Amino acid sequence: MDTVVEDLRYPVGKYTPPTEIGAGQRAEWIGQIEEMPERMRAAVDGLSDPQLDTPYRPGGWTVRQVVHHVPDSHMNAFIRMKLALTEDVPQIKTYEEAEWAKLADAMQTPIETSLTLLTALHERWVLLLRALTDEQWSRAFRHPEWGEIRLDQTLGLYAWHSRHHVAHITGLRQREGF
């Protein structure tokens, strides 16, 4: 893959989970998840419809698709975490995120709908995350492709995911002068 496209695809780098995850790291990640809705809102503030329908990179999703993708993804993460908290290592279902991004709701819905959804979702999610005990952070679910994943590892992935997609939009804005 072209280095420039790779850099545009992973503007904050690829996610690499740390080997040790303590309370301080979890608190930092929860803070990033808490801030995500406002950061996303700021990233898209003032964009016109043509700008929202601009891909963030060659062959990539449009800004609009990215904005709608994040709550789709984070709803799945929220549900997976709740399943892990209430069941013994449940097998979760994957979803075809690229196909979801092609559906009418991701292509045509005003972004305010997903920004509002993201705010409400993250409010509940952060409340849940802050209430978890050390023992609960080690609970896990089983991903069909990746195997068993602990909740603290999931937290780190979605804190990264939050930064990753905001950077897609802010990077495009900077490059295009939006």
pLDDT by residue for the chain (178 residues), tens digit each? Answer: 556 556 899 999 999 888 899 999 999 999 999 999 999 999 999 999 999 999 999 999 999 999 999 999 999 999 999 999 999 999 999 999 999 999 999 999 999 999 999 999 999 999 999 999 999 999 999 999 999 999 999 999 999 999 999 999 999 999 999 9
Q: Cα dist. 114→64, 66, 73, 119 in Å?
A: 10, 10, 12, 8
Which residues form the domain of 120?
A: 3-176
Q: Give the pTM.
A: 0.93
Give the pLDDT score at 168.
96
- Residue 54 belongs to domain with CATH number: 1.20.120.450
Could you give the number of structural domains in the chain? 1
CA nearest neighbour of 166 among 69, 43, 37 = 43
The C-alpha atoms of residue 167 and residue 148 are separated, in whole angstroms, by 29
